Structure 1
């Protein structure tokens, strides 16, 4: 058994805190903090996932109003022990090239594209944590035989939990957080091409 590298050892007895992520240059590129534990995305990314995220980024950038920006692979500091990294987010924060995270009140929509290794976190853990942080909109995108299926959630203010707002196949039209019209079938190439 090989000893753990020093950077993997928590800096204090209580474990990791959100600000610690900025001091881990040796950590893998996609490192999240969930309940004070480091989560590394170590498995290879599927081409389907990467292509979908790229195409969705472009589609959302084309439709976003001037005060909304699309962020990719940026963490959200939900609290001092949680700093997840969604696949995409929509933010109203001003651009700052040195920025490494967003606050929940700067985020309008979080999008997670489910991978086999992230399925539990995306469907349950992050669903609850993003809602508790007050992020108004959450999309969880699944692979259904090569086609994207978008599970849309909207924050129910009285309960502080997400309420399902629809499951979309083929096309997605939503009036919030801004008018969004997506041809989901164009986000992934047809099988065999």
Structure 2
């Protein structure tokens, strides 16, 4: 059995806290904190996923009104023991070139692109955690024959849980959190011979 490097040992008996992530320069680039445990994304990412995240970032930013920012692959502090890293977040927080994470306040939409290693977390764990944090809008995106299928959820204020708002194939038009009109097929152009 290989010994764990020192940086992987929690600094206290209670485990890891949100502020600890900024003190782990040795950790892999996409390290999240879920319920006080470090979660590493170490599997290779597919080209489809990278193109989708890039295309979606560009389109959401292009359509965003003034005062709305679109950020990719930055952690968000939900509470002291949870700092997940969504694929995209839409926020009213102004751009800060030195930012390493986002506060909960001002987050309008979270988007996760499902991969085999993140499927359970994206479809269940994060769905619950983002709702508990009062984030109004959550999307997770599945790969269906190299085309994005978007599962859209809105927070039900009375129950505090997400209600399904639709499954979108081909196009996605939503009036919230701002007017969004996406051609999902164009976000990941197929290879042309």
- The TM tier, using the shorter chain, reads over 0.9
The structural deviation recorded for 1:190 is 2.3
2:112 corresponding residue in structure 1: 112
What CA distance in whole angstroms lies between the structure 2 residues aligned with 1:66 and 1:29?
30
Aligned to 1:52, what secondary structure does the other structure show?
helix
The gaps in structure 1 that reach 5 residues or longer are none
Residues 1-193 of structure 1 mapped to structure 2, 5 A cutoff: 1-190=1-190
On the 8 A contact 1:146/1:191 being kept in 2, the answer is no
The gaps in structure 2 that reach 5 residues or longer are none
TM-score for the superposition, normalised by structure 2? 0.98
Deviations, residues 124-145 of structure 1 (Å, cap 9, x unaligned): 0000000000000000000011
**Which consecutive aligned stretches of 4+ in structure 1 deviate over 2 angstroms post-superposition?**
190-193
What CA distance in whole angstroms lies between the structure 2 residues aligned with 1:90 and 1:186?
20
What CA distance in whole angstroms lies between the structure 2 residues aligned with 1:134 and 1:92?
15
What CA distance in whole angstroms lies between the structure 1 residues aligned with 2:111 and 2:172?
14
The structural deviation recorded for 1:191 is 5.3
The structural deviation recorded for 1:192 is 5.6
What CA distance in whole angstroms lies between the structure 2 residues aligned with 1:14 and 1:110?
28
Deviations, residues 1-36 of structure 1 (Å, cap 9, x unaligned): 221111000000000000000100000000000000
Aligned to 1:154, what secondary structure does the other structure show?
strand
TM-score for the superposition, normalised by structure 1? 0.98
What CA distance in whole angstroms lies between the structure 1 residues aligned with 2:101 and 2:157?
24
Deviations, residues 39-73 of structure 1 (Å, cap 9, x unaligned): 00000001110010001111111100111000111
What CA distance in whole angstroms lies between the structure 2 residues aligned with 1:105 and 1:161?
18
